[in-house]
Amino acid sequence: MERYYFDHNATTPVAPAVIDAMLPVLRDGFGNASSIHQPGQQAKQALERARRQTANFLGCSPKEIVFTSGGTESDNLAVLGIVRPGQHVVTTAIEHPAVLAACRNLDATYLVPDARGLISPDDLRAAIRPATALVSIMHANNELGVVQDIEALAAIAHDGGAVFHSDGVQAAGKVPVNLKAIDLYSISGHKLNAPKGIGALYVRQGIELYPRQFGGRHEQGRRGGTENVPGAAALGAACELVRDCDGLAAMTARLEKGILDRVPQAVVNGAAAPRVPNTTNIRFAGIEGEAMVIALDLRGFAVSSGAACSSGAVEPSHVLMAIGLTREEAKASIRFSLGLGNTVEQVDALIEAVAASAAHLRRLSPVYA
Ligand SMILES: Cc1ncc(COP(=O)(O)O)c(C=O)c1O
């Protein structure tokens, strides 16, 4: 059976060009980038090349890039590297757990989006207090694909005297970003066709960031630990991949329209907001998302549902609940996320499989009439 992957917001396949860039560093460039001998200097060169590639991609200076182990560490470092005891943070109810959990023991205000998934600038303005050190608002949401106007939100944070961080893990490479307007920006390699275990945090020059991982003076004292040079080389190469966002947007629109045309009582979550070109989140009345994920997997398609397994129980997504969906609606939602390698033929095959699976599951459903 052919297998087609439509879960690129969970993770992406490593691109062949990225493997080609990483392998020589793994094989021959084993030196420690802090060593002064030749193998060390060779590793240092590979690391700094990757830093330049990552900076070019984001539109910042290489000095403003801190390599990390991924999106989670970048988010943790941004939050906990800025907010001191007694200070306040403003974030949103739809952040990834990498931000939400980092805020758990802080004095935090969680902004709730509207039904489209958008954060209101007025709500942000009202939430900022003199003690607010940081505002952290994600650029694109991983489940809905909804894109916030982070430049406008950052301006409000700055007016209130706060530093502005954005989790750009799902936005980087999909929508443009103007880093001049913001202070901290997280990215993750494995969402960009590089391997897991590498990411970066952009830290605007002049922002004072306390390290969260203590050790040597690596990454200009901002993140201790011998650098993952092969990982960085892979991220650098991934930053240079050509990404056809218009093509992705056309395929996502085709998928969305195809499903809505073929399946009654299907509704796009977050449809009224600007979205990244690769994501659509659709709820199917009367269908358990998990059952749909399994039905599609049996037909060879990988997608994900609006629910997560937590302590053995299937819990509806906090993001879908935050935009006002009921538990049942959230649990009836499926995320389709496209990426490099998907084709129009695959999209058409997915539409057929979704239509057939939905009809089958509804026939079995005791609640769907
Ligand atoms: C929006 C967002 N932030 C952060 C992360 C965490 O990134 P990583 O898996 O690299 O730790 C993810 C991963 O799904 C994400 O989607």
User: 332 — phi, psi (to 5°)?
Assistant: -95, 10
- Report the mean per-residue pLDDT for the chain: 96
Helix 245-262, helix 344-364: angle, nearest 10: 30
- Centroid of ligand 1 to alpha carbon of 294 (angstroms): 23
Q: What is the pLDDT of residue 366?
A: 77
Which residues of the chain fall below pLDDT 70?
306-313
Residue nearest to atom 16 of ligand 1 (CA): 142
Give me the residues paired with residue 268 across strands. Answer: 282
Domains of the chain: 16-239 (3.40.640.10), 244-364 (3.90.1150.10)
How many Å apart are CA 166 and CA 187, to the nearest integer? 10
Query: What is the atom index within ligand 1 of the atom nearest the CA of 11?
Result: 14
* SS3 label, residue 203: strand
Provide the CB-side half-sphere exposure for 273 (13 A, CA). Answer: 26
Structure tokens at 5: 């992957």
Give me the residues paired with residue 188 across strands. Answer: 199
pLDDT in tens, 128-158: 999 999 999 999 999 999 999 999 999 999 9
Instruction: Find the distance separating the first CA and the last CA of the chain, reported in whole Å.
Output: 33
> How does DSSP classify residue 45?
H
* SS3 label, residue 272: coil
Query: Residues 6 or more apart from 252 whose CB is under 8 A from it?
Result: 277, 278, 279, 280, 336, 338
Residue to probe by mutation, ligand 1, list 95, 99, 169, most atoms within 8 Å of CB? 169
How many Å apart are CA 118 and CA 270, to the nearest integer? 9
The alpha carbon of residue 343 and the mean position of all alpha carbons in its chain are separated, in whole angstroms, by 22
Which residues are identified as catalytic?
309
How many Å apart are CA 339 and CA 211, to the nearest integer? 34
Query: Residues 6 or more apart from 331 whose CB is under 8 A from it?
Result: 288, 289, 290, 305, 306, 307, 314, 316
Task: Kindly state if the Cβ of 227 falls inside 6 Å of ligand 1.
Answer: no
Burial class (CB in 10 A: 0-12, 13-18, 19+), 334: buried
Which amino acid appears at position 319 of this protein? V
How many Å apart are CA 182 and CA 209, to the nearest integer? 14
User: 29 — phi, psi (to 5°)?
Assistant: -100, 50
The alpha carbon of residue 242 and the mean position of all alpha carbons in its chain are separated, in whole angstroms, by 19
- Centroid of ligand 1 to alpha carbon of 302 (angstroms): 18
Q: pTM for the full model?
A: 0.97
Burial class (CB in 10 A: 0-12, 13-18, 19+), 79: buried
Residue 217's CB is within 10 A of a number of other CB atoms, namely 10
Residue showing tokens 């066709």: 193
- Centroid of ligand 1 to alpha carbon of 101 (angstroms): 13
Nearest to 203 by CA among 186, 215, 218, 217: 186
Residue to probe by mutation, ligand 1, list 96, 141, 192, 304, most atoms within 8 Å of CB? 96
What stretches of 263-310 show up as alpha helix (H) in DSSP?
289-298
Largest Cα–Cα separation, the chain: 73
How many Å apart are CA 5 and CA 3, to the nearest integer? 7
What stretches of 240-325 show up as alpha helix (H) in DSSP?
245-262, 289-298, 318-322
Residue showing tokens 């659709």: 282
